[in-house]
Structure 1
């Protein structure tokens, strides 16, 4: 029965350690989205082409 208490204590300590590491990572900005702006730059031309096609179609009507 004492083994259960030891394992429970160790698991709570490990869980608290992971939680603290997670909070530190969030505060340091590790989960900030730095990928989307670079991808948005690649697809920006397609958005401009679609807008120009729509404007050409509306001008013809």
Structure 2
């Protein structure tokens, strides 16, 4: 029975260690997205064209 207490204690310590490592990685900026803003610039015209089309379609539906 004492083995269960030891295993539970070890698992809690390991879980807390992983939580601390995750929080440290997030605060240091490891999960920041550096790729998407540079690619978004390439597809900006397509997004504007598609939004203009939807606006035209919505105006036609209201008429």
Give the TM-score normalised by the residue count of structure 2: 0.68
Q: Which runs of 5+ in 2 are unaligned?
A: 57-63
Distance in structure 2 (CA, Å) of the matches to 1:45 and 1:21: 40
Tell me the matched-pair count.
53
Distance in structure 1 (CA, Å) of the matches to 2:21 and 2:42: 34
Q: Which protein has the bigger helix share? A: 1
Deviations 1:7-36 (A, max 9, x none): 001101100100110110011011112122
The structure 1 segments of at least 4 consecutive aligned residues displaced by more than 4 Å after TM superposition are none
Q: CA RMSD in A?
A: 2.1
Map 1:1-61; keep pairs closer than 5 Å: 1-48=1-48, 50=49
